[in-house]
Structure 1
């Protein structure tokens, strides 16, 4: 019996050493970008002031879950090896350990309480709604996005402007860096979901309900956005880009929209299916419906 246990321990130790060696070899071949992504557990680089609160909660939750999982799996493996029987004796079925059972009962409540506490802290950061420096009214329609910039106070612009995408052409959302932005979300047709992964936030866009959230982009760059709600046949086409730029570039982009005649507030309109597709009713590059007419 003793020899068998020692052999099992040696096998387990060798397996653990081998796994560590493989892991170290794989990590040594990772680039700095890949290593950074591993540290973030797959999350993209945070692009807003609010994002780290969510990211830290995500990483902390996985660390806690992983630690508990390793402890449980380790105890299961240890018990299987330590108390392995070499003959056909029936073990006692009514063994108990009162302190251990109390621990197993209390520990989950402690873990849940800690996670709840840190969730509330992160939620407080995310749900703060300071006075925004600018407001963007986002309309999710089948099957693209319309971005209305409330820009009457922007020097050199003097009016609200908009940008609307189509099934074939994804729109671009411009935001100035280090400025607080309020997104007002609405839909004229079905449920959508506004999601920019690098913001670590998404929110549903629901007909008849005005949802909103506030972020402060603090990292210049280009970020992917998409609809995170299966909304119909061309859900895949509901992509967009977010350009976080300097204030000068932001103002210049709004002036470009004025020069294109994209002034006013676009309410959004369902975009017909592409020509040749079932249910086609017209041009896939259908315009948005704008206050005062159609552009």
Structure 2
């Protein structure tokens, strides 16, 4: 079987089995396959280019090896303009194609709805996450609520399935990175520079979330659990948070008081 045939089989098997997707986790959002296809496409391009280069190297070694009885070395060519143009232009062509597909994927992933179904504020702080759920304008929920993670308590993030979620990202101290691996996407939470993106979860289940930016001593503790649930279960969870004393939206100074009590004491002094 040719090299191209092997790569075609790998490509065609990309929709079945985790190993066939080069170790990518099961996609859990509508946007994830866009990033997954781009990533797999880059690997295929790398394999094709690598296979071609290694093939030419091996062919040259075999074809032009010095045979017994050869008195002279092969003819030496100092300049070969067509070949030099070829290996100069082809890399630019490859880069151009990869860049085009990267821009197309980026535009798809970063596009935002004018009116998302759900809005959640995400605040990164040393060393956990705060999630603010905007639900007061939703007749099925009727209240805003929040959850604040600590070093002792890993926070939970609830998302309704098949609903467009707008994440508004900010940070209370240093740069963090909000990452849900099963969404195949991450975005930085930068102090004083709010970021946002939309995502549509489409697979019910529990997934891992973490900080993807080396933010300091307890960076490894900045993990959370993502629960993709039905719309009814999502609304019930927000109402339960409010009933348990977590009604309203938490501002960043309040968040710091939950995470670093000493900082709050210094602020009061």
The TM tier, using the shorter chain, reads 0.7 to 0.9
- Structure 2 counterpart of 1:55: 36
- Structure 1 counterpart of 2:166: 182
Summarize deviations over 1:123-175 as a string: whole Å, max 9, x none: 12112111210100001010000000001033453221001111121101000
Instruction: Give the distance between the partners of 1:133 and 1:143, measured in 2 at CA.
Output: 29
Q: Is 1:104 matched up with 2:87? A: yes
**Secondary structure in 2 matching 1:65:** helix
Instruction: Give the distance between the partners of 2:191 and 2:41, measured in 1 at CA.
Output: 35
- Structure 2 counterpart of 1:158: 142
Q: Is 1:220 matched up with 2:204? A: yes
Query: Deviation at 1:117?
Result: 1.5
- Structure 1 counterpart of 2:61: 80
Between 1:147-156 and 1:123-132, the stretch displaced more is: 147-156
Between 1:221-230 and 1:109-118, the stretch displaced more is: 109-118
Contact 1:168 1:237 in 2 (8 A): no
Query: Deviation at 1:102?
Result: 2.5
Instruction: Give the distance between the partners of 2:78 and 2:117, measured in 1 at CA.
Output: 66
Q: Is 1:211 matched up with 2:169? A: no
Q: List aligned pairs for 1:22-171, cutoff 5 A.
A: 36-86=17-67, 89-130=72-113, 131-155=115-139, 157-171=141-155
Report the RMSD for the aligned CA atoms in angstroms. 2.6
Query: Deviation at 1:89?
Result: 4.4
Number of paired residues? 248
Instruction: Give the distance between the partners of 1:136 and 1:196, measured in 2 at CA.
Output: 15
Instruction: Give the distance between the partners of 1:90 and 1:84, measured in 2 at CA.
Output: 10
More helix by share: 2
Summarize deviations over 1:164-217 as a string: whole Å, max 9, x none: 111121101000001001000111111111000111110111111111111111
Contact 1:154 1:251 in 2 (8 A): no
Instruction: Give the distance between the partners of 2:62 and 2:233, measured in 1 at CA.
Output: 65
- Structure 1 counterpart of 2:239: 255
Contact 2:165 2:198 in 1 (8 A): yes
**Secondary structure in 2 matching 1:269:** helix
Contact 2:25 2:181 in 1 (8 A): yes
Between the two structures, name the one with larger relative contact order (CA 8 Å, sep ≥ 6): 2
**Secondary structure in 1 matching 2:186:** strand
- Structure 1 counterpart of 2:256: 269
Distance 1:272 1:89, change over 3 A: farther
**What's the TM-score, normalizing by structure 1?**
0.78
Instruction: Give the distance between the partners of 2:22 and 2:199, measured in 1 at CA.
Output: 22
Stretches of structure 2 that go unaligned for 5 or more consecutive residues are: 265-269
Stretches of structure 1 that go unaligned for 5 or more consecutive residues are: 1-15, 21-26, 274-280, 287-295
Between 1:97-106 and 1:140-149, the stretch displaced more is: 97-106
